[in-house]
Amino acid sequence: MSTRAGLSPLAWLDDVEQQRRAAGLRRVLRSRPPIGTHLDLASNDYLGLSQHPHVIDRGVAALRTWGAGSTGSRLVTGNTELHESFEAKLADFVGAEAALVFSSGYTANLGAVVALSGIGSLLVSDALTHASLVDACRLSKARVVVTPHRDVDAVEAALRARTEERAVVVTDSVFSADGVLAPLHALHAVCRRHGALLIVDEAHGLGVRGGGGRGLVHEVGLAGAPDVVFTTTLSKALGSQGGVVLGPAAVRAHLIDAARPFIFDTGLAPAAVGAALAALEVLIDEPWRPGAVLQHAARLAKTCGVAEVPESAVVSVVLGEPEVALEAATACLDRGVRVGCFRPPTVPAGTSRLRLTARASLSSEDLDAAGRVLTEVLDAARRR
């Protein structure tokens, strides 16, 4: 009889948990109240629209009109006029020919990358792309080359050496952990020289970069390019939930036929679509919001002693070891300020950090209060 007969098949989880605790990498879910009692510098609600009255009212109206759920995939019963109206308005806003809504930003990235690559193609991915892009590369069955962060020469070398007929380069536009921008213009030039498609994740660019918040792809003049596809999420600047793939109309048509996360997943709930559409309307009507995000991020960076002026809503305060970052985040929360805490594997070992996010809706008084707490907590953390 096997010596394993009396063991639970999940016994190994106890050892893994102990290892995580010892490394300071155990994660815990913490509930937040419906009305925030803390000053929030952790959420991705960059434009402050998740609680905007117009956004909430339109989400409720969609709920009452279309019901609580989509009731099926978009190819069966999950497609509504609301979905298509939002797709058209967002595509027009960012300068894309067409758009296709998915149930999340994660599934949008999976659908786009896998359906536009596949066996016999090459995928070139930045080393610090979002986990959804990493997983998409793994699922694609393409040959994958991971290049150093923001290294355009390495991307060109990978494309030049390829033997595959088709190639796709994937990158974030704004990298989520540190908020820096991808060299999109240079990457596109390399892609065009080598006949490659460029796929850009605009999750942290939409609503913050570009004229009126149209995103970094639009800012660098690539919106509408026939060899550029970009994705985004509705859960950050637009304060709702869901994901979108934007690009040529031929790409939209192909994804409807070939993207498994679109074909086999229930369509995005109407309330989320209605809220996202309302948030987009607010952004169009109030183009001051993206600039306010960057101004507030610059002020937070200065308070925290971060030398670089932020290029996005993200302010990254590197503290080193996981325990130091976690203690600092806890100390901020105890003093009424909620901040993000990024540890491995989200960031490389030795670079655990506080991740602060600016919002357009922060007041000067909010930033003053946050500054007092952050100064005190970071002074203590850096003395460790």
Give 252: exposed, middle or buried? Use CB within 10 Å, 0-12, 13-18, 19+: buried
| pLDDT for the residue numbered 3 | 61
β-bridge mates for residue 171, sequence order:
200
| pLDDT for the residue numbered 7 | 83
In the chain, where are the structural domains located? 53-285, 288-382
CA 124 to chain centre: 19
What's the length of the chain?
384
Residue 169 CA to residue 225 CA, distance in Å, equals 15
| pLDDT for the residue numbered 323 | 95
Counting Cα atoms < 13 Å in the Cβ hemisphere of 242 gives 28
pTM of the predicted model, to two decimals? Answer: 0.94
**Which residue matches tokens 């956004």?**
55
| pLDDT for the residue numbered 27 | 85
Q: What is the DSSP letter of 98?
A: E
| pLDDT for the residue numbered 29 | 85
| pLDDT for the residue numbered 2 | 59
Low pLDDT (below 50) residues in the chain: none
| pLDDT for the residue numbered 37 | 74
Closest of 286, 293, 296, 302 to residue 205, by C-alpha: 293
The SS3 call for residue 24 is coil
Whole-Å CA distances, 345 to 131, 173, 349, 355: 10, 21, 8, 15
CATH hierarchy code of domain 53-285: 3.40.640.10
Question: Which CATH topology does 288-382 take?
Answer: Aspartate Aminotransferase, domain 1 (3.90.1150)
Residue 125 CA to residue 78 CA, distance in Å, equals 33
| pLDDT for the residue numbered 28 | 84
